[in-house]
Amino acid sequence: MTQKFPFNHFLKLDGLSEGPAAKKVDVNPVIVEQAIKAMNVSAEPKAPASEFSGDELRTLTDALLDNIKNLINPNKFHAYFANAFTVSAIKHETVEIMVTTSFIKKMVETHYPDTIKQALFEILGKNYGIDIQVLGAPTQSLSSNAENILNSLKSPMPSKKPESVKNTTFFIDELEPTKDDLFKAIDSQVIEHQTNNNSNQIDINKTFNNFIIGPSNNIAHALSLAVAKDPGKAYPALYIYGNSGLGKTHLIHAIANHIQMHKPSMRICITSANRFMNEMVDSIIKKNQSYEFKKKYTEQTDILIIDDIHELKNKTTTQEMFFHIFNELIERGKQLVFTSDKTPKEIDGIEDRIRTRLSSALPVEIQQPDLETRIAILKKKAVEKDVYLSDDVVNLVAKCVKSNIRELEGCLIKLGAVTSILKVDIDLEVAKEHLKLNEELENQKNVTIETITKTVANYYKIPLGDIRGKAKTKEVALPRQVAMYLVSKMLKPTLKDNGQYFSGRDHSTVLHAIKTISDRIKTDGLLAQQVLDIEKQL
Ligand SMILES: Nc1ncnc2c1ncn2[C@@H]1O[C@H](COP(=O)(O)OP(=O)(O)OP(=O)(O)O)[C@@H](O)[C@H]1O
């Protein structure tokens, strides 16, 4: 063997084998030795075996980990190196490295090749290439014998060690197959969050205070608050509708929490259409207590809130009961609130008399939140859940997850779990990897000042030239302001560039337009809706 680097030098370094980088675990040194030897047996007859012995490779691994530990963030070191990384061979000018999962291989290859090469240079005094493989994955140079031994290393060590190896310790904890378990733990935290549904009781965590308001939900929020402040009076029946995960359930719990706090004597009944049906079936069929059931909802309820009312479809007996309860509560001046993912017209399988009752309620839609609202929601939830996310990670997630706030929350839960379980900081790469986000795809939607202004012009049915031109009539003034507002919001150009496109208007005109529209959409529901519709088309 030709010694091509000062191995003797680094073998003499003090404390290498005691480096804090790796946790000590008990392993069978005979198996380890066999594994390392086997890894060096090439399936290709011409490929040379490692130029170094198992002991030397182990010492090199320790030295490398010690060195890398000083070069990178401790959390990242813990996640990608401390329990996951070993030098398996050195052939010619290349150091072969084994890691425990393909995710780690990808992260190390993407982010740390230079760090590893620098550390190798510092230890070995010369430049080496690196070749990273996943432990247990078939590689060209591993013989089947080596794979068998690696597999035996990956399975848990027998709890009883042979007498001869007691008290022997090596730094081989990268062989513990724990990463999969960790990822499963992360997934299960997300699933637990998604399926946690307590809507038969008032959820004290869903209040008006932590409901973020934006153009997509400001009217629903305002009407819900009005109902909560003056139940049974302002709007005796409110019907909140919109797609899944946009905050309907949050709002009904906010109403209930507000009433409970400010009018504690009022009796609130919050349920879902399915629970209402199950309770009814239970009380009528099993307990023969139809009267008690009806009494509970008519005489003992001041506020009846039913989530997912569309679930009444095709349930004739439940619809019948609901019809009577609805009428009686309205007659008594009580408050009713419903949510649904459909308008009353769109619900199939309900009787006309139910449809007309539901249609008599004040309808209000919650729409898909815009980017700013999504960012605000993420930031608020991150603080609530004590997960630190940098602004660029928040922006990335909000940009990629558009249609559902529950999904946005799911991302946050996942990132929180990644931080606490894998002990890594969340940066853009980690977020993209774990959430499988593709920012490039989002960016491919080529929104330009031209496309925004054309979309506004089409929406208001006026020629593009008029919006960009000098005319100051009422018909074009508002669309032009909307266009300037959207250009500023979506593209963030300078005020000068923004005005330039609109016949060279100056920065104060653009500033005035942006302020006018952003102020007005907070109070003018119609305009808020128009702006939202245009944004959706872009
Ligand atoms: N504007 C908002 N501010 C803060 N959190 C929100 C907002 N909108 C929705 N959320 C949160 O998003 C999650 C999903 O919302 P919610 O359960 O109210 O949706 P939904 O419209 O009732 O959906 P579904 O129809 O599937 O029941 C909840 O955890 C809720 O707290």
How far, in Å, is the centroid of ligand 1 from the Cα of 431? 22
Tell whether residue 416 is among the known ligand binding residues: no
Give Cα separations from 56 to 24, 82, 116, 294, 480 (angstroms): 18, 19, 17, 81, 73
**Residue 256 confidence (pLDDT):** 96
Give the number of the atom of ligand 1 that is nearest the alpha carbon of residue 211. 3
- pLDDT higher for 192 or 470? 470
How far, in Å, is the centroid of ligand 1 from the Cα of 526? 23
Where does ligand 1 bind, in terms of residues with CB under 6 Å? Answer: 206, 210-212, 217, 244-250, 341, 377, 405-406, 409
Chain centroid offset of residue 509 CA? 39
How far, in Å, is the centroid of ligand 1 from the Cα of 409? 9
Q: What percent of the chain has pLDDT over 70?
A: 77
Q: Which backbone phi and psi does 297 adopt, to 5 degrees?
A: -85, -20
Q: How far apart are CA 492 and CA 182, in angstroms?
A: 40
Most confident range, picked from 9-23, 188-202, 395-409:
395-409
Residues 6+ apart with CB under 8 A from 143: 38, 41, 42, 43
Tokens of 150: 């690696």
Q: Is the pLDDT of residue 56 over 70?
A: yes
**Whether the Cβ atoms of residue 109 and residue 76 lie closer than 8 Å to each other:** no
Q: How far apart are CA 508 and CA 50, in angstroms?
A: 71
**359, 356, 313, 361: which is closest to 335 by C-alpha?**
361
How far, in Å, is the centroid of ligand 1 from the Cα of 406? 6
Residue type, 88: S
**144, 172, 174, 151: which is closest to 41 by C-alpha?**
144
Q: Which residue has 């400010």 as its token pair? A: 262
**Whether the Cβ atoms of residue 223 and residue 337 lie closer than 8 Å to each other:** no
Helices 525-537 & 507-523 angle (0-180, nearest 10):
110
Give the number of the atom of ligand 1 that is nearest the alpha carbon of residue 205. 31
Residues 6+ apart with CB under 8 A from 157: 26, 27, 28
**Residue 152 confidence (pLDDT):** 37
pTM score of the predicted model: 0.55
**Whether the Cβ atoms of residue 270 and residue 252 lie closer than 8 Å to each other:** yes
Strand order of the β-sheet with 85-91 is 85-91, 94-99, 129-134
Q: How far apart are CA 222 and CA 89, in angstroms?
A: 67
ipTM over 0.95 threshold = yes
Q: Could you say which DSSP state residue 232 is in?
A: T
**173, 138, 139: which is closest to 154 by C-alpha?**
173
Give the number of the atom of ligand 1 that is nearest the alpha carbon of residue 366. 21
Give the number of the atom of ligand 1 that is nearest the alpha carbon of residue 252. 18
Residue to probe by mutation, ligand 1, list 212, 377, 406, 532, most atoms within 8 Å of CB:
406
Q: Whose CA is nearest to atom 4 of ligand 1?
A: 211
First to last CA, the chain: 66
Strand partners, 304: 269, 336
Tokens of 253: 């719990």
How far, in Å, is the centroid of ligand 1 from the Cα of 262? 23
Q: Whose CA is nearest to atom 6 of ligand 1?
A: 247
Q: Which residue has 């808020």 as its token pair? A: 528
**Whether the Cβ atoms of residue 332 and residue 296 lie closer than 8 Å to each other:** no
pLDDT band (50, 70, 90) for residue 179: low
Tell whether residue 249 is among the known ligand binding residues: yes
| pLDDT tens track for 279-329 | 888 887 777 778 888 889 999 999 999 999 999 999 988 999 999 999 999
Give Cα separations from 414 to 20, 183, 395, 431 (angstroms): 29, 10, 16, 9
How far, in Å, is the centroid of ligand 1 from the Cα of 503? 43
Q: Whose CA is nearest to atom 7 of ligand 1?
A: 247
pLDDT band (50, 70, 90) for residue 105: confident
Q: Whose CA is nearest to atom 10 of ligand 1?
A: 247
Tell whether residue 59 is among the known ligand binding residues: no
How far, in Å, is the centroid of ligand 1 from the Cα of 280? 27
Tokens of 21: 């980088």
Tell whether residue 154 is among the known ligand binding residues: no
Q: Whose CA is nearest to atom 16 of ligand 1?
A: 247
Could you please report the per-residue DSSP string of 79-95? IIIITTEEEEEEETTEE
| pLDDT tens track for 152-166 | 334 333 333 333 333
